[in-house]
Amino acid sequence: MLKNLKVTLEMIKIEHTLFALPFAILGAVLAAKGIPSLEKLFWISMCMVGARSAAMAFNRLVDQTFDAANPRTKSRAIPAGLLSSRFVLIFTIVSSALFLFSSAQLNRLTLILSPIALGSVLFYSYTKRFTSFSHLVLGWCLAIAPTGAWIAITGGFHAIPILLSAIVMLWTSGFDIVYACQDYEFDKESKLYSIPQKLGIERSLWVARFFHLTMFVLLVIFFFVANLKWVGAIGVLLSAILLVRQHSMVSAQDLSRLDAAFFTANATLSIILLVTVGADVILY
């Protein structure tokens, strides 16, 4: 059981929780106008871990046939025979239950909206079968985090977390388009939908750049709407540098540094925004 659990955590890349968790915590800090209670932060974190674990495990489960046929993914746990479909299904159910239970510990509105969030992250796994806009669906899934955390703290909605969610959606959609470029040939052969499969790698990279440029514009607007000061400005500036660096690392002719552009740059960006914007809110 412990061995299977270890393989499962490796399969779902639990470390990639760094993409969305900082934005959930940031949403909570903005809502509390300071440091939220440790109890709230704990249950918000459990929501994030449960939802993302369920989403990734379910994705590996429903995509196992494609993963087995794709040279890049055939060594993943299910097609490689390291995990059974039954075990992954149980893990998905347990992770979903963790998310729903954690939502119930926060407030009534969080619990009411939790099936929408869970349904969204599970539904994403099917989108590449019928739409090239699957990247935007993934963006929506991660964009739930900051607004969901705000609701967990305040029990209501506000323009600030919604704006932050729009930033997360464009950011995620952009880097997912870049990541999908490596499967361009396989997606064409397998009749799977993606923007690279539809537009080609070169034009898809320009779409990703447009998404990230728009994201940066919204980030600047967010800076003023949230009334941030100089610490937050540092985060906005560093985010711009990381976005430019990410796109400078890949081209239609060379995707060899795509993993570094995908994981390192984006995990760093989310942490930088949490630290700088969070510190700004706490200090001022």
> Which pLDDT value is given to residue 6?
82
Distances (CA, A) of 84 to 43, 49, 62, 185, 224: 30, 22, 13, 28, 50
Whole-angstrom distance, CA of residue 117 vs CA of residue 113: 7
Radius of gyration of the chain (CA): 19
pLDDT in tens, 94-145: 999 999 999 999 999 999 999 999 999 999 999 999 999 999 999 999 999 9
Task: Count CA atoms closer than 13 A to 87's CA, side-chain side.
Answer: 16
Residues in the chain: 284
Q: Comparing 247 with 258, which gets the higher pLDDT?
A: 247
pLDDT in tens, 55-101: 999 999 999 999 999 999 999 999 999 999 999 999 999 999 999 99
> Which pLDDT value is given to residue 3?
77
Mean pLDDT to the nearest integer, 178-189:
94
Question: Hey, what CATH class is 2-283 in?
Answer: mainly alpha
Domain range list for the chain:
2-283
Banded model confidence at residue 15, pLDDT cuts 50, 70, 90 = low
Banded model confidence at residue 228, pLDDT cuts 50, 70, 90 = very high
Q: Tokens 């909206």 label which residue?
A: 113
> Which pLDDT value is given to residue 35?
96
